[in-house]
Amino acid sequence: MNVPRPLWPYPRIVAHRGGGLLAPENTLAAIRLARNLGFTGVEFDVKLTGDGVPVLMHDDTLERTTDGSGAVADASYQEIAKLDAGSWFGNEFGGEPVPSFAAASALCREAGVWANIEIKPSPGQERETGEAVARTAKLLWTGSHPLPLLSSFSALALEAAAVESPELPRALLVVEVPPNWLAQLDRLQCVALHVSHRYLDAALVKAVHDAGRGVLTYTVNDSETALDMLEWGVDALVTDQLDAITPAFA
């Protein structure tokens, strides 16, 4: 399976939210763990604090993954930086902070880890978040090869990212593939389509490749499914099961 993939110059097995199910999601500890396990590609989510600082966070609210409460978009970076983002997962991660996008990028570059950066806007902040993430990524990853990949479910965020930093590659995230997927990729100038594995088949993989785009699938947590997807020719898969679906699969 280790063959050249001209449409996908990135790692093939990617750790979901940094460390999958083995560390608190979207933290520096998660990224370090993935790297220690041999992963050279991670996926994480970025959204904006109330004062416009990009931080790693999946949810619109703080309750699930920190000891804080309320909307991320209503809290300042200073307030969020003081929160504990690790104890909910396990005592050994107590005191792990919510990292800034800058800190996560610095760690990735230092560790030689490529990033699939999901732009995850809070409601009503699609363009603002797309612009901020793209602008910050351009600064933080200057000179990196390969560059990080910006992905999002939000077309508005991807449009804004394209205007802000057109040189950064982008990917459209979907659950079920819409009939007009190619028109959307063309309009947004995306290099890849990221699809839920539940709605992927070999014919779609071929169609996307025939259109000159890469295919990533998420979130694949069963080894047999992972092998099937790779056999179909998917360019990459995102997994939570870092101890079972390893970079050796590729």
Catalytic residues: 16, 58
Asked if 228 and 245 count as a contact pair (C-beta separation under 8 A), the reply is no
Spatial neighbors of 210 by CB under 8 A, at least 6 apart, are: none
What pairing do the DSSP bridges indicate for beta strands 41-48 and 114-119? parallel
- Rounded Cα distance between 19 and 152, Å, is 20
- Rounded Cα distance between 173 and 154, Å, is 8
**What is the identity of the amino acid at 231?**
E
Q: Is the preceding peptide bond at 123 cis, omega within 30 degrees of 0?
A: no
- Rounded Cα distance between 45 and 40, Å, is 17
Nearest CA-CA partner of 244 in 226, 230, 231:
226
For the chain, where are the E strands, in sequence order?
13-15, 41-48, 54-56, 114-119, 149-152, 170-174, 192-196, 214-218, 236-239
**What is the identity of the amino acid at 78?**
Q
The Cα diameter of the chain in Å comes to 48
How far is CA 169 from each of CA 12, 42, 147, 236, rounded to the nearest angstrom?
16, 16, 8, 15
Q: Using CA atoms of 62, 148, 131, 61 in order, give the dihedral in degrees to the nearest 10.
A: -10
